[in-house]
Structure 1
């Protein structure tokens, strides 16, 4: 095998990526950002998420596979090959790749991998050191057979049953509030990337691979650990929290003249600083609200006292007064992030050329900053089957066989 395309902490790690939509591709994107050679194996015609927008008018035509922004953002740093798993030749070829790979990641519905001959048990016979990761809505039978294992699931299902929606939204009544970005996919993706690297360390030490089972609903529940320990400790059923914290006060969002700001006061030290900054130092030792437990009992009053100061002032004015003194931040949207020097200094807004156009577009970079092996966006997402010949050559397949595989339709 050739070395990884990019240097990085995972340089030399070869991952065969069978995933689509968001959870699986986000996980393999995290690996590719850190230098793993991630080979995106698409069906002939390409991953359907290539067709999801937004699109540019002059971009790659849809009949060439498409290249929407959704696909471009989470498939950067990867290479693409198209293999027809309905073909016996295609399945056999995939097994040849597996023999030389470190890991496979997929997010099929339960039973699909078995029907395709790509299940863990089959591939482990080909490569006993293989790490095999699956991301499913309710997990896989290998990690514990859920009664809902056959149910399809996407982000809102994971958010709902994982419990994050149940503690998010208005404090009384109202409709359930979904978290904006697809955390029902993205959080499981992070667990999947962590699980893959953990299993890979074990495989390299022992020569023995294993199955890594990630349930989307489980991942969200684990992320809502506070609600679980509250229920486990008190027997009470935590509900929606609104814009404030159930255990700390003041700790949440407060109105400003031109939007909202966040403040987090986790202890009496910061409460004393905040009260001084807002011109009410006597509140630090007020017998009714001087301690956190007391402030929780009088939260509405505390919020009103804080907003007496924040509401007449803009976010910028408040940043000048509170920023760097107490935990503080304005509530941002994308325009604010594009303008704030923090995100430029942290290289969080990456530019990549959009295929078929002369335009560079902005995508979010990795937040994982490593001093010795820097990761991040180094290359745009691939075109459909862009690297088929190169990948097959790296795996030791000669030009005559590549031509035969193309002629049969096993690859594209």
Structure 2
């Protein structure tokens, strides 16, 4: 038994944040059906590819494991009818289009909820949905970079004398996707109590404001816009990355006990008395930081870690190869193998960070091939999809094509 083995999710999302959200639900046991437009989620075509199979790349594999795939063209009434039939037995619909896209196909929340009042309809957008709160930006498309820029994340990231810098990974997508999963689970819990589904939405801009919470309260308390601090912290010291002779190490000696441990390792007993409190250490950080940096620089990363381990929070700055070699990552099953379809090869993707004692999540099989599960989802009710006579690019219809949400810029996710 898994925690969500009685939940069916219809996943209309593509790219990163939405698929990450629904993959979390699949890891928890939900039956996630990835509804893809003609040609599929365009991330299927994004490298890197494995030499043994190029039908989809690592990007698609990493956030679509454990799902089933069904290709539907919402420009086609028969395919819209097929989707509605799936909605009748679904628990959740997840989409990440711009406001108004689903209305163009008469597949918006209100239409679907008439068929299935227990449906949880979850929209993940750049700027939210007017059903839960209006925004002057709701008609604009958004991607991870846009969300990081607007939410204050980029302004706060980078060195003090450098430009605003985006976080290396797609936090605008991933963090929003995690919050969206929380949103869905809360709505499902409410439905169990009331019997009623509802519309929920999570905006990328909102998520980034939430992620940048420290700058929000700092501005309120001080009436000053916080500056970039690089790897340091504006109110805590020592809390920084220091360069050793073979790499970098982070040291976070926040409490008095941690500070005492660092002073002992550095053979600086006088500092314990001279800088006995956190505010005193923060006030003197311009004098203390060079001395700590010099102590670290004369040692290897391993020597620093060995001197501080168990007493002072510290860690090496690892690259992904180091992560692969880490015993913690191995024992916590944070790297899992996914098959390449039609081969004996596997590739490694990130495992699930959600751990449960009674109903442990189980990362599912590889990501699906496009339309791989049509027969088990629709046939014989609607029959197989007819083969197209020619492979041509259709002319847009009023600025759109059957590849819903991509050609008209309605996609919010990245």
Correspondence list, 1:212-251, <5 A: 212-251=200-239
Looking at structure 2, the residues matched to 178 and 220 of structure 1 have their Cα atoms a distance apart, in angstroms, of 12
The equivalent residue for 2:284 is 298
Shift of 1:12: 0.9
The equivalent residue for 2:376 is 390
Equivalent of 2:265 in 277, 282, 285: 277
User: Which range moved further: 354-363 or 276-285?
Assistant: 354-363
The equivalent residue for 2:163 is 175
Q: How many correspondences in the alignment?
A: 389
Correspondence list, 1:1-400, <5 A: 7-60=1-54, 66-172=55-161, 174-286=162-274, 289-392=275-378, 399=380
1:76-98 CA deviation, whole Å, 9 max, x = no partner? 01111111111111111111111
Shift of 1:254: 1.3
Which one has more relative contact order, counting CA pairs under 8 Å at least 6 apart? 2
Shift of 1:300: 2.1
Looking at structure 2, the residues matched to 114 and 131 of structure 1 have their Cα atoms a distance apart, in angstroms, of 17
Q: Is the 8 A contact 1:188 1:216 kept in 2?
A: yes
The alignment partner of 2:243 has SS state of strand
Looking at structure 2, the residues matched to 171 and 43 of structure 1 have their Cα atoms a distance apart, in angstroms, of 45
Q: Is the 8 A contact 1:67 1:355 kept in 2?
A: no
List structure 1 runs of 4+ shifted beyond 3 angstroms.
407-410
1:103-152 CA deviation, whole Å, 9 max, x = no partner? 01000112111112221111111111111111111111112111111111
Indicate how the Cα distance of structure 1 residues 310 and 206 shifts in structure 2: closer, same or farther if over 3 A, else same.
same
Looking at structure 2, the residues matched to 151 and 259 of structure 1 have their Cα atoms a distance apart, in angstroms, of 43
Shift of 1:312: 1.4
Name stretches of at least 5 consecutive residues in structure 2 with no aligned partner: 389-401, 403-414
Indicate how the Cα distance of structure 1 residues 68 and 408 shifts in structure 2: closer, same or farther if over 3 A, else same.
closer
Q: Is the 8 A contact 2:9 2:90 kept in 1?
A: yes
Looking at structure 1, the residues matched to 267 and 66 of structure 2 have their Cα atoms a distance apart, in angstroms, of 51
Normalised TM-score (structure 1): 0.91
Looking at structure 2, the residues matched to 335 and 247 of structure 1 have their Cα atoms a distance apart, in angstroms, of 33
Looking at structure 1, the residues matched to 237 and 385 of structure 2 have their Cα atoms a distance apart, in angstroms, of 64
Shift of 1:402: 3.2
The alignment partner of 1:141 has SS state of coil
Looking at structure 1, the residues matched to 310 and 228 of structure 2 have their Cα atoms a distance apart, in angstroms, of 30
Greater helix fraction, Structure 1 or Structure 2:
1
Shift of 1:58: 3.0
Looking at structure 2, the residues matched to 407 and 336 of structure 1 have their Cα atoms a distance apart, in angstroms, of 49
1:152-187 CA deviation, whole Å, 9 max, x = no partner? 111111111011111111113x22111000001001
1:33-74 CA deviation, whole Å, 9 max, x = no partner? 1111111011122111100010123314xxxxx311000000
The alignment partner of 2:382 has SS state of helix
Shift of 1:356: 4.2
Q: Is the 8 A contact 1:120 1:211 kept in 2?
A: yes
Looking at structure 2, the residues matched to 312 and 369 of structure 1 have their Cα atoms a distance apart, in angstroms, of 40
Looking at structure 2, the residues matched to 116 and 317 of structure 1 have their Cα atoms a distance apart, in angstroms, of 63
The equivalent residue for 1:63 is none
Equivalent of 1:406 in 380, 385, 390: 385
Normalised TM-score (structure 2): 0.91
